[in-house]
Amino acid sequence: MLSYIYRIACHFEHSHGIRPNLLYLNQIHLHHLKEQLEEIESLDEMAKLLGMEIIVTSEAIHPHVAAANLHQRPAMAM
């Protein structure tokens, strides 16, 4: 699973010129990833290691990556 994620992330970066920061997985993919990263206990730690937020959805037939601006803008004073 890790090698597949690495390949799709590299392909995305090469194609789009930016690194992906979102990883879409279903429960089965997540299970396989957890098996490979058994020393990592939390999803947050996994996301930090991969450099991507992990989104678990049943709609992810295959693991895929994307890029989105995840930084929130500061609230404007009125």
Q: What is the mean pLDDT of each run of 10 residues along the chain (78 residues)?
A: 96 97 97 95 94 96 92 53
pLDDT of residue 69: 86
| pLDDT of the residue at 73 | 53
Contacts of 45-51 with CB under 8 Å at 24 or more apart are 47/23, 50/5, 50/23, 51/19, 51/21
pTM summary value: 0.84
AA letter at 24:
Y
